[in-house]
Amino acid sequence: MEILARIEALLFVSAGPISIQQLASALEISARELEQAIQQLDAQYQDRGLRLQKSTAGYQLVSAPEAAKDIERFLGLEEITQLSRAGLEVLAIIAYQQPITRPLVDSVRGVNSDSVLRTLLRHGLIEEVGRSEGPGRPFLYTTTTDFLSYFGLGSLQDLPPLQIDSEGALSQKPDPEIHREVATLDE
């Protein structure tokens, strides 16, 4: 069996990401050979129903985002709940400034974010990771691995850079790639 088929078989049976070291060891090949083979396999998946997703934990097979509606219909799942503008705004603030407290999120947004934070917590996109030493010891929030998966990111380093104008303010021009699927979420 050729190496690409062997890699594919291991990724298929794995319940989660597999590191390069684990794959190389299981296949008894070098990490360099494995990375070259993974690049070939990734290229083969570009126009198919599966994708190779890289994360800090390794690689895993996932369904292509374009197949989501077919998968939902087949599995009888409710339509995937997508995020509101407020949800995206709070997630962006947390993603770029984590760990961050609710009062700081509120300060950036200029409005109370309690209900949005509760919704994001309920959907597992953020988590409470401790308490600040500041007045009232508010909770500190960070994004989760579900956040990374939801947005197809391998790590926080894959976030697009912030657009800062000459006056030091965030650019108001939205990136169309980031805003392509904004809908509503119950808040």
**Where do the CATH 1.10.10.10 domains begin and end in the chain?**
3-67, 85-158
DSSP 117-166: HHHHHHTTSEEEEEE-SSTT-PEEEEE-HHHHHHTT-SSGGGSPPP-B-T
Give me the amino acid identity at 63. S
Average pLDDT of the chain to the nearest whole number: 84
What would be the CATH architecture of the domain defined by 3-67? Answer: Orthogonal Bundle (1.10)
Sorting pLDDT into bands at 50, 70 and 90, what band is 169? low
Reported as a single tens digit per residue, the pLDDT across 84-129 is 899 999 999 999 999 999 999 999 999 999 999 999 998 889 999 9
Pairing of strands 50-55, 100-101: unpaired
- Phi and psi dihedrals of 18, rounded to 5? -120, 130
Reported as a single tens digit per residue, the pLDDT across 122-139 is 888 999 999 999 888 999
Reported as a single tens digit per residue, the pLDDT across 19-50 is 999 999 999 999 999 999 999 999 999 989 99
Q: What is the CATH number of domain 85-158?
A: 1.10.10.10
184 vs 187: CA distance, rounded Å: 9
